[in-house]
Amino acid sequence: MITYRNLDTVIVGAGFAGMYCLHKQIQEGFNAEIFEKADDVGGTWYWNKYPGARCDIESMDYSYSFSDELQQEWNWKEKYGTQPEILEYARFVSKKFNLRKNINFKTSIVKARFINNKWIVETDNNIKIECHYLILATGNLSTPNTPNIEGISNFKGKIYHTGAWPEKMPEFKGRKVGIIGTGSSGVQSIPVISETAKELLVFQRTANFSLPARHSKLPENKREKYKKNYKKYRDLAQNSSFGIAKYQPPTKSAFDVNEDERNEIYESAWQEGGQAMLFAFTDLLTNKEANETAANFVRNKIREIVKNKETAEKLCPNDHPIGTKRLCLDSNYFETYNKENVSLIDISNHPIQKITEKGLISNDAEYEFDDLVFATGFDAMTGAVKAIEILNEENISLKSVWSKGPKTYLGIMVSDFPNLFMITGPQSPGVKSQMILSIEQHVNFIHNLIIHKKNNKYLQVNANKDKQDEWVKHNNEVANATLYPLAHSWYNGDNILGKTRNFMPYVGGVANYKNICDQKIKNDYEGFEFYN
Ligand code: FAD
Ligand code: NAP
Output the CA torsion 387→469→443→395 (10° steps).
-40
338 burial type by CB count under 10 A (0-12 exposed, 13-18 middle, 19+ buried): middle
Q: CA torsion, points 471, 476, 477, 482, in degrees to nearest 10?
A: 140
Q: CB–CB of 108/12 below 8 Å? A: no
Q: Please, which residues have CB within 8 angstroms of residue 168's CB and are 6 or more apart in sequence?
A: none
- The CATH 3.50.50.60 domain(s) of the chain lie at 3-143+379-457
Is the CB of 188 inside a 6 Å radius of any atom of ligand 2? yes
Q: Are 414 and 401 in contact (CB under 8 A)?
A: yes
**pLDDT score of 430:** 93
Provide the pLDDT for residue 91. 98
Residue 205 Cβ < 6 Å to ligand 2? yes
Q: Whose CA is nearest to atom 19 of ligand 1?
A: 108
Architecture in CATH of 3-143+379-457:
3-Layer(bba) Sandwich (3.50)
User: With b meaning 16 or more CB within 10 Å and e meaning fewer, what string describes 223-233?
Assistant: beebbeebeeb
Q: Ligand 1 center to residue 14 CA distance, Å? A: 9
- Determine the pLDDT at residue 396: 98
Question: In the 8-state DSSP scheme, what is residue 106?
Answer: S
Q: How far is CA 89 from CA 56, 74, 81, 83, 104, in A?
A: 16, 8, 10, 10, 19
Testing ligand 1's pocket by substitution, the residue of 45, 141, 420 carrying the most ligand atoms inside 8 A of its CB is 141
Q: Quick one: residue 339, left, alpha or beta (phi over 0 = left, psi -120 to 50 = alpha)?
A: beta
Where does residue 457 rank: exposed (0-12), middle (13-18), buried (19+ CB within 10 A)? exposed
Q: Which ligand 1 atom lies nearest to the CA of residue 387?
A: 18
- d(CA 98, CA 58) in angstroms, rounded, equals 27
Percent of the chain with pLDDT over 90: 99
Ligand nearest to the CA of 440: 1
Encode pLDDT of 425-443 as tens digits: 999 999 999 999 999 999 9
Is residue 274 within 8 Å of 282, Cβ to Cβ?
A: no
Strands (E), 215-341: 328-330
Q: Is the pLDDT of residue 364 over 90?
A: no
Going by alpha carbons, the residue nearest to atom 29 of ligand 1 is 55
* Count of helices and strands (H, E) across the chain: 16, 20
pLDDT of residue 415: 98
Exposure string for 287-322, b = 16+ CB within 10 A, e = fewer? beebbebbbebbbebbeebbeeeebbebbbbeebbb
pLDDT in tens, 8-20: 999 999 999 999 9
Give CA–CA dist 309/311, Å, rounded.
5
Which of the listed residues 215, 314, 320, 376 should we mutate to test ligand 2's pocket, taking the one with most ligand atoms within 8 A of CB? Answer: 376
Q: Whose CA is nearest to atom 26 of ligand 2?
A: 377
The alpha carbon of 217 and the centre of ligand 2 are apart by a number of angstroms equal to 27
| Ligand minimally distant from the alpha carbon of residue 378 | 2
Instruction: Tell how far the Cα of 362 is from the centroid of ligand 2, in angstroms.
Output: 19
Which ligand has an atom closest to residue 377 CA? Answer: 2
Strand, coil or helix: what is 11? strand
Question: Residue 137: what pLDDT?
Answer: 98
**Ligand number with the minimum distance to the CA of 497:** 2
Give percent of the chain with pLDDT exceeding 70.
100
Give the ligand at the shortest distance from the Cα of 150.
2
Mean pLDDT of the chain: 97
**Can you tell me the mean pLDDT for 406-423?**
98
Element (H, E) at 110: strand 109-115
Mean pLDDT of 53-79: 97
Ligand 2 atom 2: residue of nearest CA: 183
**pLDDT at residue number 264:** 98
For residue 503, the model assigns a pLDDT of: 94
- pLDDT for residue 287 is more than 90: yes
Q: How far is the CA of 162 from the centre of ligand 2 (A)?
A: 10
| Alpha helix stretches (DSSP H) within 159-219 | 184-196
pLDDT of 157 higher than 90: yes
Distance 518 CA to ligand 2 centre (A): 34
Considering only CA atoms, which residue is closest to atom 4 of ligand 2?
A: 183
Q: Nearest residue CA, atom 2 of ligand 1?
A: 43
> CB burial class (10 A; 0-12, 13-18, 19+) of residue 60?
buried
Cα-to-centroid distance, 185 and ligand 2 (Å): 6
The H-assigned helical ranges of 206-286 are 220-228, 230-238, 259-272
Per-residue pLDDT at 488 exceeds 90: yes
Residues 6+ apart with CB under 8 A from 431: 140, 141, 326, 380, 381, 424, 491, 504, 505
